[in-house]
Structures are given as C-alpha cells and as structure tokens.
Amino acid sequence: MQKKAREVIDLLTKQYPQALCALNYQKDYELMIAVRLSAQCTDARVNLVTPALFQAYPTLEALASAQISDIEGYIHSCGFYRQKAADIVYACQKLLTHHGGKVPGSMDELLALPGVGRKTANLLLGDLYGVPGSVVCDTHCIRICGRLGLSTGTDPEKVEKQLRAILPPEESSDFCHRIVLFGRDICTARSPKCDVCPLSHLCAQYNP
C-alpha cells in the first residue's frame, strides 16, 4: 500500500506541480474562517464571500467584537450561516483571549476552538505550520482514496488513520491539496473522466 501511495503521489505531483490551498487568505485566522465557511459549500463560493467580509472586518479584533447577525449577512450564501457566523465570532474571541491572537499550532488546541473539527485542524496544521502527517479528509479525499483502494469506508477519522499509515508524513498535506484539484478536474463524484485519468491503472473501480 505504501508503494501504491508513493506512485499516486508521484503521478499527482506531475499532474499538479503546485499543491496550493484552493481557499484565498492572507492571515492565519482568515484561513481558519474560510475553512469553516467551506463546510457544505464550495471553495469557489467561499472565495467570493470572504473579500467583503474581511474588508468590513479587517482585523481579528473587529471580527471578535462583531455582531453575529451582521456576520450572517456577509456569509448568508455559504449555507448554515447562523451557526457559521456564531463559530466565527466565538473562535476569534478565543484566539484573542487564549492564544495571543494567533491560530494555535497543536491539534488539541485547534479542536477546542468553536467550529473547528479534525478536517479544519489538519488543514491549518499543514498549511500554517507545515506539520508532517496532516491529512485533510474532505469528500474528495474520501471518495478518491476509496476508488483507488488506498482506504475503505467513508468515516473521515477512520480514513485519516488509514492514510496516515501509508502516506509519507512530509507529503501528506500537499497530497490532500492535489487530491482536491484532481477531484474537481478529473475524478469527479458523478462522471469521472476515466479515459483521461493518469491514475486509471491504479484504480480499484476502473473498468475499461
């Protein structure tokens, strides 16, 4: 499995040399907020919403002191806006009161923030701190790794554990970003483009 994972990594790296996060941000807390907004929402939609939000609230302090109802107005189109708005304000408050205004760099501290689960925490650890072994199990990752036979099941935490066992820790974060690009471009949920897929020979579900 480790050998197969290595081949998948090499092919995805060739296909997508730049393993970049699809969410736009300039500050650490902006990435935290963008990832929270991306739940049940596309990254493209989040990137349309966040510029106005961050312009209206240009500092962490401004977001922490904002009225939740005002935040709701900016993020309404992202869905689940009431809970997301509350999480944003409370998480920003906690960054100020408990972490000196910085997104913390440990899993336990991140999971204690409102609205932050393992997917968000792993992304923040990988992108902000370069922590090895940061595996972001989103829907693309779970779907594609299942198709490739790198993992089984759909429980994010279980898939994360399986992938940690076979992915080189220093490659994990970039691998997950490339999986997202691959999932949007080729290995889509409903109509995967198997005829042009560079990984078809490794796919457990490919049936030419």
Catalytic residues: 119, 138
Q: What would the two tokens of residue 116 be?
A: 């932050």
Residues in the chain: 208
Contacts of 139 (CB under 8 A, 6+ apart): 183, 189
User: What Cα–Cα distance (Å) separates residue 188 from each residue in 53, 99, 143, 182, 191?
Assistant: 30, 39, 9, 8, 6
Could you give the angle at which helices 118-129 and 172-185 cross, rounded to 10 degrees?
Answer: 110
3-state secondary structure of 67: coil
Question: Measured between alpha carbons, how far is 60 from 74 in angstroms, rounded to an integer?
Answer: 16
Whether 136 and 176 have beta carbons less than 8 Å apart is answered as yes
Question: Measured between alpha carbons, how far is 30 from 33 in angstroms, rounded to an integer?
Answer: 5
Beta-carbon neighbour count of residue 18 at 10 Å?
A: 9
